[in-house]
Structure 1
Amino acid sequence: MSTPGDAYAVLGRGYAARRRPDPRIAALIGDSLGPARTVLNVGAGTGSYEPADRAVLAVEPSAMMIRQRPAEAAPVVQASAEALPLGSGSFDAGMAILTVHHWTDLRAGLRELRRVSRRQVILTWDPEVTARFWLVEDYLPELAVRERDLAALNAVRDCLAHLGAAPSVLPVPIPADCTDGFAGAYWRRPHAYLDADIRAAMSPVMLLDQSYVRNAMHRLSGDLGTGAWHKRNAGLLARGELDLGYRLVVT
């Protein structure tokens, strides 16, 4: 992920351990890359979802995240999305996976992504849908407020407006046993949110006031203990996947 300065010196701890690519999401991303042989991964973080069968170059501004990239990961350049140090049309495809909400200037980053690649694949989310997720609606409503205040989280709309070539928007349903530890991954495993180490890999949650988060998790713990959570969310327990608003925008 890409973020101003090096905030991930704090937020990025443990990303490599918790943010492991989910193979079903990886397959959707791989299909969306089409026949691309060269891929630029912008806001690459620790290297999740970089396709092993293509030539990949990663761009990541955070030294903390770069240090967590495994030895076998793609080569990485330390730079920001808004100023890619690459020639125009250098890559068949450019991808940006759960990163655009951290860019300081979303439109500038999209222009750069479009400049250096002939095809763009962006995984982001629709905040109007994610606001209805039980974690947000019942326990962390401040998360929805914060996202409404972030211009970058009109990301789906802005991607459509600024990528050109009539992008398509594909829903990305989240499996109940998702292996990638982003904020929506544990929708059917609520006890996981009580673990501070698991939450540490969820940047939207970590950017909230942590006393507020701890109080919310105390309420969640109580609702799990009394059965109130299960009563409210009984319909989820038999679901194998759920649409939480994650969207793949593809030119």
Structure 2
Amino acid sequence: MAIYDSIGTTYNTTRRPDPRVAAQITAALGDARTVVNVGAGAGSYEPPQTVLAIEPSAVMIEQRPVGAAPVLQAFAENIPIEDNAADAVMALLTVHHWTDLEAGIAELRRIARRRIVILTWDQEVTREFWLLSEYLPEAAEFDDTRAVPVDRLAALLGDARVEVVPVPHDCVDGFGAAYWRRPEAYLDPAVRAGMSMLAQTGEETIRPGLERLAADLTSRRWHERHADLLDLPEYDAGYRLLVAEL
């Protein structure tokens, strides 16, 4: 069973594309006239030139909007389409879910004629994010087991450039660090349900840390400790865009 068959039922309510992140992805795709989206989920960030989406989870496929690109239910490690199927292949916040990274990257390289674009995160940076370092170290430890080192991923892709993807203070895509300046959002179970690092770590495990966060928000201790964040327009939480030219 695909992971998001169990944790993706409310994905569309909190995981909407952020236009600033979308602009960076679009720029990375460049002049590609055809795109295959691997690990496509509900279709976030798919450009209009997407010709096919690959997604293993039926729950996520059901949430794709009317008019989205055709979707094929398959895993990244074994994609039943022809070689050189599109100018570019993109894979956004998905490689950490793959069971065989090398096989998945080999499939991306087989399918793409010119370019591969991958959105992931650098765990060395992300584990210092205040939510993880101060309140939910258990979630950081979980991500330690699945995060793909950026240098390993770049090496598998072959001479990929790495771009920082800053998180806007009002990011509308509710991924893990989206609410770095809006900490009260992490107390909302609907918000947490859209974040795999929290949903998979488990509510029982993270409850004590969330209770500490709630207390620190009530007492304003969090605001005092993180006053330096409150005026920042964006924040580097470790998200990285890798772009490989083939």
C-alpha separation in 2, matches of 1:179 and 1:189: 12
The answer to whether residue 238 in structure 2 is matched with residue 245 in structure 1 is yes
Shift of 1:149: 2.4
C-alpha separation in 1, matches of 2:134 and 2:50: 43
Percent identical among aligned pairs is 54
The answer to whether residue 142 in structure 2 is matched with residue 146 in structure 1 is yes
| Structure 2, unaligned runs of 5 or more | none
Dislocated runs of 4+, deviation >4 Å: none
For the residue of structure 1 that corresponds to 2:201, the secondary structure is coil
Q: 1:74 aligns with which of 65, 69, 77?
A: 69
Q: 1:176 aligns with which of 159, 169, 182?
A: 169
Instruction: Give the TM-score taking structure 2 as reference length.
Output: 0.96
CA distances 1:59-84 after superposition (whole Å, capped 9, x unpaired): 00000000011112111000000001
Counterpart of 2:51 in structure 1: which amino acid? V
CA distances 1:178-224 after superposition (whole Å, capped 9, x unpaired): 01010110000000000001100001111113112122111100000
Counterpart of 1:34 in structure 2: which amino acid? G
Shift of 1:155: 4.0
For the residue of structure 2 that corresponds to 1:207, the secondary structure is helix
For the residue of structure 2 that corresponds to 1:92, the secondary structure is strand
Shift of 1:231: 1.0
Partner of 1:126: 122
Partner of 1:117: 112
Partner of 1:159: 153
Contact 1:6 1:61 survives alignment (8 Å) = yes
Structure 1 segment 1-251 matched on structure 2, within 5 A:
5-52=1-48, 54-118=49-113, 119-150=115-146, 153-164=147-158, 166-251=159-244
User: Aligned-pair RMSD on alpha carbons?
Assistant: 1.0
C-alpha separation in 2, matches of 1:125 and 1:48: 17
CA distances 1:128-172 after superposition (whole Å, capped 9, x unpaired): 00011000000111122222223xx234122211111x1100000
For the residue of structure 2 that corresponds to 1:249, the secondary structure is strand
Contact 1:6 1:64 survives alignment (8 Å) = no
Contact 1:173 1:242 survives alignment (8 Å) = yes
Shift of 1:27: 0.4
